[in-house]
């Protein structure tokens, strides 16, 4: 294997940006770094890759270890390879991102790793270049939202237009005019009005919606 010039002294790690939407806020899964450098700092869940593991294996391991559930779909985000991103040597981090639904997906946060969902506003400060990873993942999600539906992995099965608007406002960092938002979302045609009605705390009625599974799936694949 020598001609491949292995033992290059480059390490590979895998990090995951796992977002959820909880209490009207977008949050991200963080853990406490348990070794130097930056011991004690908030970081993204991360693991060094071994030669006999696939990238997908490591993603599953990271998820299993930190939230007790590896059955979460994550997508590759980017390889972060700046020369001095890790103070102790050359580590290239291949990062992934995904969305988790705290109501539908079983989650068992690992106390030992300090796993928790941390609110993204006000901006949190993570060690290494993990903030850059979050920024890139959020940009990717923002771009996707323009052309593909979002919410299935983040909202309960049934939700009000206000809840959906809150989700969009949070991930797009944008305020909407209520009427315009409603019109534009309904034009996109991936929602289904259901007959049940929710009463809010002040007793006012709100229509409940759910995602049309077929249309949601089609638009997810082909875009609007």
Whichever of 77 and 115 has its CB closer to its own copies, that residue is 77
Q: Which stretch binds its own copies (CB under 8 A): 45-53, 97-105, 119-127, 204-212?
A: 45-53
What's the closest the beta carbon of residue 145 comes to its own copies, in angstroms?
A: 11
Q: Any contact of residue 4 with its own copies (CB under 8 A)?
A: yes
**DSSP line for the chain:** -GGGT---SEEEEEEEEEEEEETTEEEEEEEE--SSSSTT-EE--EEEPPTT--HHHHHHHHHHHHHS-----EEEEEEE--TTSSTTSEEEEEEEEEE--TTTS-----TTTT-EEEE-SSPP--STTHHHHHHHHHHHHHHHHHHS---TTTS-SSEEHHHHHHHHHHHHT----HHHHHHHHHHH--EEEEEEEEE-TTS-EEEEEEE-HHHHHHHHHH--
Which residues ranging from 127 to 166 are in contact with its own copies (CB under 8 A)? 143, 146-147
Q: Any contact of residue 71 with its own copies (CB under 8 A)?
A: no
CA dihedral 51, 136, 108, 159 (to 10 degrees): -140
Whichever of 20 and 138 has its CB closer to its own copies, that residue is 138
Q: Any contact of residue 125 with its own copies (CB under 8 A)?
A: no
Out of 61, 65, 81, 118, which residue is the one contacting its own copies (CB under 8 A)?
Answer: 81
What's the closest the beta carbon of residue 139 comes to its own copies, in angstroms?
A: 12
**How many binding residues for its own copies (CB under 8 A)?**
38
Whichever of 10 and 188 has its CB closer to its own copies, that residue is 10
Out of 24, 39, 40, 48, which residue is the one contacting its own copies (CB under 8 A)?
Answer: 48
Q: Which stretch binds its own copies (CB under 8 A): 2-10, 121-129, 197-205, 210-218?
A: 2-10
Which of 113, 122, 100, 109 minimizes the C-alpha distance to 43?
113
What's the closest the beta carbon of residue 179 comes to its own copies, in angstroms?
A: 24
* Residues at the contact surface with its own copies, assessed by CB under 8 A: 1, 3-12, 35-36, 48-55, 76, 78-79, 81-83, 86, 88-92, 94, 143, 146-147, 223
């Amino acid at each position: 294997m020598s001609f491949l010039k292995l033992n290059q002294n480059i390490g590979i790690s895998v990090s995951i940006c796992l977002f959820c939407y909880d209490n009207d806020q977008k949050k991200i899964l963080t853990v406490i770094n348990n070794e130097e450098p930056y011991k004690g700092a908030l970081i993204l869940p991360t693991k060094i890759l071994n030669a006999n593991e696939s990238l997908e294996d490591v993603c599953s391991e990271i998820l299993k270890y930190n939230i007790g559930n590896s059955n979460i779909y994550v997508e590759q985000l980017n390889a972060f390879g700046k020369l001095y991103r890790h103070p102790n040597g050359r580590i290239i981090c291949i990062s992934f991102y995904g969305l988790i639904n705290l109501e539908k997906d079983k989650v068992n946060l690992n106390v030992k790793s300090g796993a928790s969902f941390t609110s993204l506003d006000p901006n949190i400060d993570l060690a290494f270049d993990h903030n850059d990873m979050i920024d890139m993942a959020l940009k990717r999600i923002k771009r996707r939202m323009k052309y593909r539906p979002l919410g299935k992995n983040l909202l309960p099965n049934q939700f009000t237009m206000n809840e959906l608007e809150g989700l969009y406002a949070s991930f797009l960092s944008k305020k909407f005019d209520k009427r315009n938002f409603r019109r534009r979302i309904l034009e996109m045609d991936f929602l289904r009005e259901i007959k049940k009605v929710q009463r809010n705390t002040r007793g006012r009625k709100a229509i409940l919606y759910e995602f049309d599974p077929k249309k949601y799936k089609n638009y997810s694949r082909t875009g609007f």
